[in-house]
Structures are given as structure tokens and as C-alpha cells.
Amino acid sequence: MTVHSIHIFNKKCECIYFTEWNNAKADASKKDKLLEQSTTTAEEKDVDGDPETAKLVYGVVFSLRNMASKLRHSLQNSNQGFSTYKTGTYKLHYFESPAGPKLVLITDPNAPNMAETLQSIYASVYVEHVVKNALVKPNTPIRNQLFRSTLDKYVRNLPNFE
């Protein structure tokens, strides 16, 4: 299973965190950013990736969530909402916490359902390192290095991570 990226959106639909794995271009840009960060302050660091890509990802999630909601109302027995979306090239996994943050994980199309993984990332990584951290302002880009490293380690330790 290949994990491509993760986006975290706040209640205002703004991308507050983004990272990629298994992408040579992303790895090169991370090295470049590390060099740039040595000369910039924490307030100047870009943490949300390409804003256009984030808008497109959120647009897909928003549309699918609305469509699933409308279908759910027409199917009386269904309490399930939208959680995954699969194409020929990727699979999008979605988790919305009760508090508002939305996590979007993009993997290869053969990946199993990652709903439990996203819930675990939210509960054990996001809540522990962002929500419970008094130095992190709510709904702002996540610059917490401990969060970043813990999330990276968590994802790299997933079964079948390539």
C-alpha cells in the first residue's frame, strides 16, 4: 500500500496541514524547504502545501459529502456517510471529527479502508499534539514539529507502507 498524502482542514475549510510521502519531487522540495527554514522564522513557514491542490481536494470532499448526504436521505436504512472514494489512480479516505477538523488521506487504489487509521491519527496524534497543546492556536496552520514527526512515524509504521 502506498500512502501519497494527508490533508487536514479546519472548520473554515482551510488546509491547516499537508504532507506527502513516496514522491521524489516532494522529497526534494522538503529538502529545499529545510534549507529555507533555517533562515526564516516559524511564522513565515509554509505548512499547507499547494493551495490550489488543497482547494481541489476539499472541493471533491465537499461534493461527495453532499451527494452522500442526499443519497442517505433517500435510503431510509443508511446512517453511513461518505468515507472513501476510489478512482483508477488513487483512493481518498475521509474522516470528520465531531470537533470539526477533517482529515483526508490519499493512498493507492488497492489500499484497504483507512477509516480506523484516520480515527487513530485524529485521537492519538492530532488531539495529543495539537488540541492539547496550549501553544497551538485553534484553526491555524500546524507548525508543531512534534506533531509532524509523530504523524510521519505513525504513517511509516502502517502495515504494508511502501
Per residue of the chain (162 residues), give pLDDT as tens. 789 999 999 999 899 999 999 765 444 454 455 444 433 333 333 455 788 889 999 999 988 888 888 887 766 555 567 889 899 999 999 999 988 899 999 999 999 999 999 999 999 999 999 999 999 898 899 999 999 999 999 999 998 787
DSSP-derived secondary structure letter, 141: -
Cβ atoms of 132 and 122 closer than 8 Å: no
Nearest Cα to 152, choosing from 22, 10, 49?
22
pTM value surpassing 0.85: no
Cβ atoms of 86 and 113 closer than 8 Å: no
Reported as type and span, the H/E element at residue 65 is: helix 51-74
